[in-house]
Amino acid sequence: MNRTYRFTYLFDPLCGWCYAAAPALERIAERHGDSLRLMPTGLFTELRPVATIADHARANDDRIQELTGQPFTSAYHQGVMRAPGGLFSSLPLTRALVALGLIDPALEPRFLHEAQTARYVEGRDTSRPEIVAGVAHSVAQAAGLQINEGDLLDRLTEDQHLAAETDSRILEGRKMMEMLGLRGIPQLVVTDGGGTRTVDSQTLYAGGDAVLRAFGAAA
């Protein structure tokens, strides 16, 4: 008998270890996108100077690349994390993800993938709203949607309804983590007829097929 699965992914768009889990998320979105919900937790939404976390991030990035093969380029290390006066906040990314999700939830994992590529591979500073608006605009265009990039930028910085929707999603994600006793992200929560459980990090970083096999879902 076939089971019906529901996947909830708890993450932050600027979480390096969430980038480590990106291949798994991409596979789940490809095979079970209708059953996948992205739930941002707001871990890095508070604005801070990027210099305060650059060394810690570099150590994590090196571990992630060694463990998973996910690339971190010199354009990212030097152009983003060592940028003079650079700032660090996932709030623009989180708002953009929510904005696209209000149009079509399937756009959310696509946007997250493109945003991670823009930052870690292309070296674009995705803490800046204008960069985020450009990435979101490209994702929308690829989906056949006509969205004005300038209007989208205004929404990311000025739209109080979008700000409230984003805060609501973050609160929901945090409540889920508290309810399940979870610490740290990323977390993949799987629910089916047998109940709710989480995927261990070793399996999550091994890729989507490993995750799906762990729960008997179609790979």
pLDDT at res. 2: 56
pLDDT band, very low/low/confident/very high, at 194 (cuts 50, 70, 90): confident
DSSP letter for 46, please: S
d(C-alpha 159, C-alpha 1), whole Å? 46
Q: What is the DSSP letter of 38?
A: E
Tens digits of residue pLDDT in 6-15: 999 999 999 9
pLDDT band at 216 (very low <50, low <70, confident <90, very high): confident
Residue 219 pLDDT > 60 = no
What is the rounded CA–CA span in Å between residue 34 and residue 29? 8
58 — pLDDT class (breaks 50, 70, 90): very high
Tell which residue, 9, 66, 62, has the closest CA to residue 211.
9
Give residue 4's pLDDT band: very low, low, confident or very high (50, 70, 90): confident
Q: Residues 35-52: what's their mean pLDDT?
A: 97
Q: How far apart are the first and last CA of the chain?
A: 16
Degrees, nearest 5: CA angle 98-157-89: 75
Q: pLDDT category, 1, cuts 50, 70, 90?
A: very low
Stretch among 35-44, 83-92, 180-189, 191-200 having the lowest mean pLDDT: 191-200
